[in-house]
Structure 1
Amino acid sequence: MNAPLAAGSSRRRPRWFAVGAVLWLVIEIAVLYAVAQFIGWGPALLVLLAVSFAGISVTRHQLAAAMRTWREGGTRSRYGAETVVTPVNPATVGGSAVGIAASMLMVVPGFVSAVIGALLLIPWVRRPAGRLLAGVVSARAVSVVAAAQQPTVPGQTHRAGAPATEDSRNGLPIIEGEIVKE
C-alpha cells in the first residue's frame, strides 16, 4: 500500500536534480556556442581542452593539500600516559572540500563550470565558501547524529511532536533503577 508523499519528500529530489542537470547542460552548450561564434569552433574546443587539463593538474594539487590538511588535523600526540587528538578545524576542511570541488568543476568541459571553478580557487572567495560549506555540513551532521543516537524502545507508540506524559521524557518512558558496580 503506497502512502501519500509528504511535501518536500526525498523522492522528489532526483526530479529536481535532473531538471538542474539539464538546465546546466543547456547553459553550457549556449555559452560554448556563443564563444565559438566569437572566436571560432577550433579555438573554443582547444580552450576547453586546455582548461580541462589545467583542472586535472589543479585537482591533483588540491587533493594532496587536502590530505595533508586532514592528516595534520587528526594527529595524535602522546603526553605521558595520555593521548591527545588535535581536532580538525571545520573551516579548513570546508576550504579543502571547496578547493577539490572547484578543481573538479574545471575538469568538467564547459566554460561556465570552468569560470565558477576558477573563482572558487581564489582565496577571498574560497574562505567564505568553505566556512559556509562547513557550517551547512556540521549542522546537517549534528542533526543526523542526534537522530541516530535517539534511543528507541520496542513497542513504543509515541509520535514525534506529541506531548510527553509525566512518566516519560522526550516521549520515551523513564525506567527507574540502580547502577550496581561489581
Structure 2
Amino acid sequence: MAPALGRTPYARRRRRPRWLAVIALMLLVVPILEIATIIAVGKVIGGWQTLVLLLAESALGAWLVRREGGRAWAALRTALRTGQMPSRQLADAALVLVGGTLLLTPGFLTDVVGFFFILPVTRPMARRALEAVVARRLLGGVFGGRGRGPGGTGTSGHTETSGPEGPDVIEGEVL
C-alpha cells in the first residue's frame, strides 16, 4: 500500500502532550481526595474545628506568600540590576506563585504542597526538582530522545558516547 500524499511511512503522528492528560486526571482526582481528607479530619476533630484549621492555614499561607513573594521579587530585581543570570530567582518566584495558588485552593493536601513550595526551608528541594525537570526537557530536544539527556538514545537509533572530557568532536567543513 502506498503512503498517503505528502506523508512518508516514517512520519510520526502528532500526539497530544502527556501533561494535558496528567492535568485532566489531577482535575478529577485532587478534588475527590481533598473532600475525603476534609471529611476524615472533620470526623476526628469536629466540623467547626476543621473549618477553623482550614481558615488558619489560609491566613498563614497568605502571610507567607506575601513575605516570600516580596523576597523573591527583590532577589530577582537585584540579580537583574547586577547583570547576573536570574535562574535561581526565577525558579523561586515561580515556586512561590504556584505555592500561593495551591494555598488559595481549599484543602489540606494542596496546602501541604503549597507550603512545601513556599517555605524557605523546603523550597531549595523543590527548586532542584524543578531545575531537573526543565533540564531534562531542554536536553531531550537537543539530543533527539524525548526526555533523555546526554548518553541517551536519540530518534536515529544510535547511542551518544562521551569520554571523560565530553562528547567526541569530528571537525569538518560544510560545503
TM-score when normalising by structure 1: 0.61
- 8 A contact 2:61–2:115 mirrored in 1: no
Partner of 1:10, secondary structure, is coil
Q: Tell me, in whole angstroms, the C-alpha distance in 2 between the residues paired with 1:13 and 1:130.
A: 19
Letter in 2 for 1:20: M
Letter in 2 for 1:23: V
Identity %: 25
- 8 A contact 1:91–1:131 mirrored in 2: no
Q: Measure how far apart 1:41 and its partner are.
A: 1.3
Other-structure match for 1:28: 34
Q: Tell me, in whole angstroms, the C-alpha distance in 1 between the residues paired with 2:100 and 2:25.
A: 24
- For this pair of structures, how many residues does the alignment match? 142
CA RMSD of aligned residues (A): 3.5
Q: Measure how far apart 1:142 and its partner are.
A: 6.7
List aligned pairs for 1:122-141, cutoff 5 A: 122-138=119-135, 140=137
Decide whether aligned partners of structure 1 residues 140 and 44 sit closer, same or farther in structure 2, where only a CA change above 3 A counts. Answer: same
Deviation beyond 6 Å, 4+ runs, structure 1:
142-145
Q: Deviations over 1:120-173 (max 9, x none)?
A: 34444221211221343355457779xxxxxxxxxxxxxx95xxxxxxxxxxxx
Q: Say which one has the larger Rg.
A: 1
Larger strand fraction of residues:
1
Q: Measure how far apart 1:25 and its partner are.
A: 0.8
Other-structure match for 1:87: 85
> Are 1:39 and 2:45 an aligned pair?
yes
Letter in 1 for 2:96: G
Larger RCO (CA within 8 A; separation ≥ 6): 1
**Runs of 5+ unmatched residues, structure 2:** 1-6, 143-154, 157-173
Q: Tell me, in whole angstroms, the C-alpha distance in 2 between the residues paired with 1:12 and 1:134.
A: 19
Match for residue 81 of structure 2 among 71, 75, 82? 75
